[in-house]
Amino acid sequence: MPLPELQAIRQAKADQLRAMGIDPYPSRARRSHTSDEALKRYAALEPTLGQAGEDPEAITVVGRIVGFRDQGKTVFAHLRDGHGQLQLFVRREALGEDAHAAFRKLYDLGDFAQATGHLFRTRAGEVTLRVVEVRMLAKALNAPPEKWHGLTDVETRYRRRYADLLASADVRRVFEIRARTVSALRRFLDGRGYLEVETPVLQPLYGGAAARPFTTHHNALDQTFYLRIADELYLKRLVAGGYERVYEISKDFRNEGIDRNHSPEFTMLEFYEAYADYTTMMESVETMVAQVATEVLGAPRIPFRGEGVDVSPPWPRRTLRDAIREASGVDYVEHPDQAGLLAAARAAGADVPADTVWARIVDELLKQFVRPNLIAPTFLTDYPVALSPLAKRKADDPTHVERFQPFLGGGEIGNAFTELNDPLDQLARFRDQQRDREAGDEDAMPIDADFVNALMYGMPPTGGVGLGIDRLVMLFTDQDSIRDVVLFPALRNLPPEADPVVALVSGIDLPDDPAPPGGDGA
């Protein structure tokens, strides 16, 4: 048998259609109404219709067959399109005996079909199409997942997202919200005069974040390239070049662990504004998130764990130092050396390895004591300079930089600062990074001489923000895992011999000399 049983049965039905002169994969479809347009049409028409309650005019709809209830002379089916679904009422006397028999025997759940007929309301009250003509648009060989439970195995859902999507309206909704969120962010920035730009994904030198890159190779140039870990340094070059407001929505890549909050490729929004500083950018962020939430979700409120969290501006602002001090009792400013801070952190109950560097201990205090409680939107501001090699120092406190991170739902959704535009300070910070790098810190940034050169031409005072789009979408859709807001999350390859899809497809025997499309078997 060329196909497993279930697929072979459907393939045989396709062949029967061909034998009847019907192409099971026609090139064109016709539709006069989407499902929601049909429902609206009937709602508007119903009061004017007589006793019969039937639309005298025929309409044509298309979609996938998602329900099929055969009662002999009558078949009820549901056709789902991108806008909803519509019930079909398929009667023998309306369709003719042969067409009716063909519909009953040769159409299956999952097939795409086109139906023409008249709208009416059934006794059970559902607006339904009384079908006078039906046509196959695409025969499905695989049966759809179980109609009530859908796909529950998360691995299968991620590997075969198409099956997940066709089985689950909830999953489809998540990615619709994602798309609308990205488009609302664009609208917000476009409306404020930002220019959307595209900077290199393949970079000869990576930078702009503390992370390990993916490395690749260009054959013709015989040169190593890195997949970008951030857009920051390129976008600031553009500000130095004279654009006052730029943004990019980019896939960034970090060669690090994968977990609920981390994907090796993820989507980041970065935007930079000349003559702004980090306080301006805080206003932009809180306004943007609230406005986008209103546009996408209907209110400035995210559905956090079923509870909901208000994201209306203004968001409270607290310095990192105060937040840590209040939550843990540790004032890191009083412990400028590693040993002292380590002892204080441990005394406060933090779990910190003995060899943790000073800046990382501060980060641990933030993570362990502060972050989990930041459910309502909050800006933490003013970070120690050691944590932020691209941010500008505070004028009144050179040990801290003008940086903030927006927190929401117990996690950070971004990172922002008044950008460092002093070329020599930037060079010094790069050199510090270089020293960390030589000391074995693989995440430390390499020196980007060309970026320093750009700053030497002069970059205006600038505020910049990076926002994690995946995390924002997780909050907007109340999903706990980044994999549930990424359509095709990165997964380890199955060995071919263990992959059921490879087994299915490699087991298919095709005719030696396949007939031209639509011609075989006819």
User: Rounded to the nearest 5°, which phi and psi values hold at 27?
Assistant: -80, -25
Note whether 389 and 425 are within 8 A (CB). Answer: no
Q: Which is nearer to RNA, 122 or 399 (CB)?
A: 122
Which residues in the 250-279 window bind RNA by CB under 7 A?
A: 254, 256-257, 259-264, 266
Residues 125-144 interacting with RNA (rule: CB under 7 A): 125-126, 128, 142-143
109, 177, 205, 376: which one binds RNA (CB under 7 A): 109
Q: Which x/- pattern, by CB under 7 A, does the window 367-386 give for RNA?
A: --------------------
Position 338 contacts RNA (CB under 7 A): no
Residue 501 binds RNA, judged by CB under 7 A: no
State the binding string over 386-425 for RNA (x if CB under 7 A, else -): --------------------------x--x----------
Q: Does 97 bind RNA (CB under 7 A)?
A: no
- Sequence-separated (6 or more) residues with CB below 8 Å from residue 396: none
349 versus 500: smaller Cβ distance to RNA: 500
The torsion angles phi and psi of 444, rounded to 5 degrees, stand at: -65, 145
Instruction: Please state the closest distance from residue 443 (CB atom) to RNA, in A.
Output: 5
Strand locations in 193-324 (E): 195-196, 202-203, 215-218, 223-227, 245-253, 265-274, 301-302, 309-310, 317-319
Q: Does 5 bind RNA (CB under 7 A)?
A: yes
**Smallest distance, RNA to C-beta of residue 317, A:** 18
Handedness of CA 460, 462, 468, 474 (dihedral sign): negative
Q: What is the DSSP string of 445-482?
A: PPP-HHHHHHHHT---SEEEEEEEHHHHHHHHHT-S-G
Q: How far is the CB of 498 from RNA (least distance, A)?
A: 5
69 binds RNA (CB under 7 A): yes
Nearer to RNA, 240 or 382 (CB): 382
- 273 contacts 244 by C-beta, under 8 angstroms: yes
| Integer Rg of the chain from CA | 30
Give the integer Cα–Cα distance in Å for 314 and 378.
9
In the bound complex, what is the minimum distance in angstroms from residue 516's beta carbon to RNA? Answer: 27
208 lines the binding site for RNA (CB under 7 A): no
95 CB-contact burial (10 Å; exposed 0-12 / middle 13-18 / buried 19+)? buried
Q: How far is the CB of 27 from RNA (least distance, A)?
A: 26
What's the farthest any 2 CA atoms get from each other in the chain?
A: 89
CA-to-CA distance for 249 and 271, rounded, in angstroms? 9
Q: Examine residue 98 and tell whether it contacts RNA (CB under 7 A).
A: no
46 lies in the binding site for RNA (CB under 7 A): no
Residues 112, 48 contacting (CB under 8 angstroms): no
Nearer to RNA, 299 or 491 (CB): 491
Cβ proximity to RNA: between 163 and 427 the closer is 163
- In the bound state with RNA, the residue whose beta carbon lies nearer, of 299 and 339, is 339
Binding residue (CB under 7 A) for RNA from 62, 151, 274, 455? 151
Structure tokens at 322: 């105060």
Show Cβ contacts of residue 263 under 8 Å, excluding neighbours closer than 6 positions.
Answer: 470, 482, 483, 486, 489, 490
Q: How far is the CB of 56 from RNA (least distance, A)?
A: 16
3 three-class SS: coil
Segment 454-493, which members bind RNA (CB under 7 A)?
468, 470-471, 480-483, 489, 491-493
- Binding residue for RNA, selected from 494, 502, 508, 522, defined by CB under 7 A: 494
108 lies in the site for RNA, by CB under 7 A: yes
